[in-house]
């Protein structure tokens, strides 16, 4: 196997993988938050247990109730870790129908602290369900990339409104950006996702799904990004 003369990896795989790793690098803080929150809640659960044992029969929460609580917290932690694993090392999936609204809600939860730290207010206007047909790991990665790129562009203060529109068999996810302080900064933060590489790569990735993405500057302080996929 070490003598293979051909480069087995296709260029589009390289870009898809590179984008994925860039997104992960940018997600170091939100991933850390997610892990820390899950662990902290268990530390708190153990403290409640220690107090319950110390209080004896006078305890407001019995040790047995604490055991139930700890099991639930550990179930939650396990779910969180499974989701992190899926984000970090996604299984390559075939094209299928899935709910893009659920993905967006999950990403908004994942990035809520990140957005708050950047001074970005999130406003979601999502239908209860928005079925699309695509490879889920590609669509999730592209949506996550656009979400992060929007937060980075608004860093310092602004509003990010995310909406979903259905148009003639296609589902369009719109990220509407409004910066508080006027014009966009000229340079990106070093930790930001490279917006142009994201768009170039997302475009070629989405082409395989018959999808597309756009990016428009509307005014000096507003912009709109979109990702369109075939409806499910």
Nearer to a copy of itself, 101 or 154 (CB): 154
Binder among 103, 130, 160, 223 for a copy of itself (CB under 8 A): 223
23-49: burial string, b at 16+ Cβ within 10 Å, e else: beebbeebeebbeeebeebeeebeebb
Distances (CA, A) of 52 to 41, 89, 132, 230: 17, 40, 49, 55
What string of DSSP letters covers 60-122?
A: SS-HHHHHHHHHHHHHHHHHHHHHHHHHHSPPP--SEEEEHHHHHHHHHHHTHHHHHHTTEEE
Tokens 């979601």 sit at which residue?
124
Q: Whose Cβ is closer to a copy of itself: residue 130's or residue 195's? A: 195
If the CB atoms of residues 15 and 212 are measured against a copy of itself, the closer one turns out to be 15
Select from 95, 112, 200, 226 the one that contacts a copy of itself (CB under 8 A).
Answer: 200
Beta carbon nearer to a copy of itself, 2 or 58: 2
Residues numbered 41 to 100 that lie near a copy of itself (CB under 8 A) are 42-43, 46, 49-50, 53, 63-64, 67, 70-71, 74, 77-78, 81-82, 84-85, 88-92
C-alpha to C-alpha distance for 168 and 177, rounded to whole angstroms? 25
- Distance (Å, rounded) from C-alpha 206 to C-alpha 73? 38
In the set 109, 196, 207, 210, which binds a copy of itself (CB under 8 A)? 196
**Which parts of this chain interact with a copy of itself (CB under 8 A)?**
1-4, 6-9, 13-15, 17-22, 24-25, 27-28, 31-32, 35, 39, 42-43, 46, 49-50, 53, 63-64, 67, 70-71, 74, 77-78, 81-82, 84-85, 88-92, 152-153, 184-188, 192, 194-197, 200, 215, 217, 223
């Amino acid at each position: 196997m070490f003598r293979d003369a051909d480069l087995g990896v296709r260029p589009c795989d390289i870009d898809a993988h590179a984008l994925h790793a860039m997104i992960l690098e940018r997600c170091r803080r939100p991933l850390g938050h997610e892990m820390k929150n899950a662990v902290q809640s268990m530390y708190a659960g153990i403290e409640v247990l220690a107090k319950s044992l110390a209080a004896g029969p006078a305890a407001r929460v019995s040790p047995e109730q604490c055991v139930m609580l700890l099991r639930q917290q550990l179930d939650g932690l396990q779910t969180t870790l499974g989701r992190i694993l899926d984000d970090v090392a996604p299984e390559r999936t075939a094209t299928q129908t899935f709910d893009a609204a659920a993905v967006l809600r999950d990403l908004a939860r994942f990035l809520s602290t990140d957005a708050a730290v950047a001074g970005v207010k999130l406003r979601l206007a999502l239908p209860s369900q928005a079925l699309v047909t695509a490879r889920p790991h590609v669509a999730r990665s592209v949506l996550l990339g656009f979400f992060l790129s929007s937060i980075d562009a608004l860093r310092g203060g602004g509003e990010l409104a995310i909406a979903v529109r259905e148009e003639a068999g296609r589902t369009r996810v719109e990220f509407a950006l409004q910066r508080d302080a006027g014009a966009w900064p000229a340079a990106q933060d070093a930790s930001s996702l490279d917006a142009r590489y994201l768009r170039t790569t997302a475009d070629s990735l989405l082409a395989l799904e018959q999808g597309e993405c756009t990016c428009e500057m509307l005014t000096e302080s507003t912009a709109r990004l979109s990702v369109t996929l075939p409806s499910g």
